[in-house]
Structure formats: structure tokens, C-alpha cells
Amino acid sequence: MNAELLKKYMDITPEIEEAVRTGKPVVALESTILSHGMPYPENVAFAKEIEKIIRAEGAIPATMAVIDGRLKAGLTEEELLRMCEGKNVLKASRRDLPIVVANKLTAATTVATTMILASLAGIRFFATGGIGGVHRGGEDSMDVSADLQELAHTPVAVICAGAKMILDIGRTLEYLETMGVPVLGMDTDDFPAFYCRKSGFGVDFNAKAPADVAAIAKVKWDMGLQGGMLIGNPVPQEYAMDFDAMSETIDKALAAAEAAGVKGKNITPFLLAHIVELTGGDSLKTNMQLAYNNARAAARIAVEYAKL
């Protein structure tokens, strides 16, 4: 999108615009976790804390959203509050963007849409909780998250705690391999499983330090190789949950979703809310801590990339 068209559809805060122009480190953040993933007002404190963590590491946070049909890279205090309150806030993936913008609606950005907005704004790094992927039974239902296609085509590195445990992680990684997306581990040989540090599946490369990730990203994009990268950053040990116990909990949540007939884009929020209930709130605490940990890692990688 050229600069004139960009201005027609997108608002970038002056701080973020200046940072991108001068090559300072910037980290994109999604808004779905605020509007659809956490209760109000806890999500306000979470949003402020995650931005504080990124700034403490020497980078600038850029929360993405669509407000009254305007694409946003960076939110004002008032806009952030509006996303957290979640009133009349839709959830927009790639397919929804033209509808939301044309009808001047307000929507939170998923992983896929945050990548699109980040790329339009010239931002290379994005911290999130966990990515979407191939749903269990996806070989029959064809329920595959748009996040995977976005990783294949959009030049943004996504730092996450792996794929959500509600997914088929093996098939998700196979899909990423087919699409040519490098999957790195942040000081781990094992691809993390969101609430848990290990999924039983490996990564393509164990990056021991943020500088290693930055160097790989630079070479990939310098060579003109299309798409992004996925960096699996395990949840800190003290907040990690037991894999077997969480697998059992997820099976119960999946059974509840099937009984309630929940499908499509409603399934993830339904399952995550059900898991919070079944774990007595422990999964929400872990979710928050892994998101903070990813923000910290993303900021460190962005800082190293800015030096190259």
C-alpha cells in the first residue's frame, strides 16, 4: 500500500511512525486478547503492564485494532479503554477486514490481522500469547486458522508461547513446514504448548539468544524470502502447567463445545473461557504471564534487529 492509500485507511501514532522511519525497535500487540480473551477491568491493567514491559526493554509498543473503520497502529488511552470494555467490538481476521472497514465498525485484531496491520505500518515483530493452527479433527473439518496462511505470506516475526493446546500441534507444525515458515525455539529444542513448556514436537532451530533470532530474520528478509517466522518462547517454569492435567482439562472443554454446538471462530474464546473455569482461574494467570514473557522476548529481539 502506498503512503497516500495508507493514510486513507490507517492511523499510526506519531511516536510509532517516527520509530519506524528512524529504524527504532517496535513491537506489535494484538487486541483480541483484550476484547475477547480477558475480563474487564483486569484486561486494562494487563494492557498497560505489557506496554510497560516492552518500553523497559528499549522498544515501543504498538497495539493494533480497527476503530470506527480506521486501522490503528498504536492506541490512545481512550481507544485502549474502548477495546478493553469490548462493547460492540467484533473479532476480525483477514476475511473480515474489508467488511469492518467499509462499514466503519470496530473490531479487535487476531494474530492474522495484527500481522497485516503491523506489516502495513512497517513493524517487523509481534508478541502474542499463542497462535491459532489446525484444529483437532482438522483433516476432516478443514478448520485451519488464518494465522498460518498469514505467517506464510506476511513478513512479520511472531513471538508466542507456541500453539494453543486446544489445537492439533503436530498438524499445525506440518502445515507451517509445507508453507516454508521457519519455526524457532527461544532457548529450547521443544516447541512449547501454550500453558506448558513442551508439546512433544521439535523446532527447526534452537535460538539461544535474541540476537540469533534477529540475525535469522534479517537474512530471511534480505534474501527476499516471503513471509514471517514463528518463535516459540516457553512460559516461565514457575507459571507452567502440568501437560497431562491440562490435556485432560482441554478434552473436557472440547466435549463441552461439541455438546453446545460451538463452531468456527467462536470455538477458541469458548474453550479458553471454559478452561479458565475448569482450572479455577489458574490458566488465566498462566496466560497473562506467558504474554508478558513473550512481550519481553519480542522487545529484546526487536532491539537486536535494530542494531543490524
Task: Yes or no: say if 235 and 213 are a contact pair by the CB < 8 Å rule.
Answer: no
Bridge-based pairing of strands 157-160 and 229-232 is: parallel
Q: Which residues contact 201 (CB under 8 A, 6 or more apart)?
A: 169, 170, 173, 190, 191
CB-count exposure of residue 206 (10 Å: 0-12, 13-18, 19+): middle
CB atoms within 10 A of CB 15: 14
Bridge partners, 155 (sequence order): none
**Within 13 Å of residue 127, how many CA atoms lie on the same side as its CB?**
31
Please pick, among 51, 91, 164, 304, the residue that the annotation labels catalytic: 164
Place of cell 469490548: 86
Contact in structure between 169 and 191 (CB atoms under 8 Å): yes
Rounded-to-integer distance, Cα 165 and Cα 60, Å: 30
Contact between 147 and 111 under an 8 Å Cβ cutoff? The reply is yes
30 carries an active-site annotation: yes
State the DSSP code for 191: P
Number of C-beta neighbours around residue 45 at 10 A: 12
The residue annotated as part of the active site, out of 30, 57, 79, 150, is 30
DSSP string, 86-120: -TT-EEE-GGGHHHHHHTT--EEE-HHHHHHHHHH
The angle, 0 to 180 degrees and rounded to 10, between the axes of the packed helices 42-56 and 77-85 is 140
- Which positions are annotated as active-site residues? 30, 164
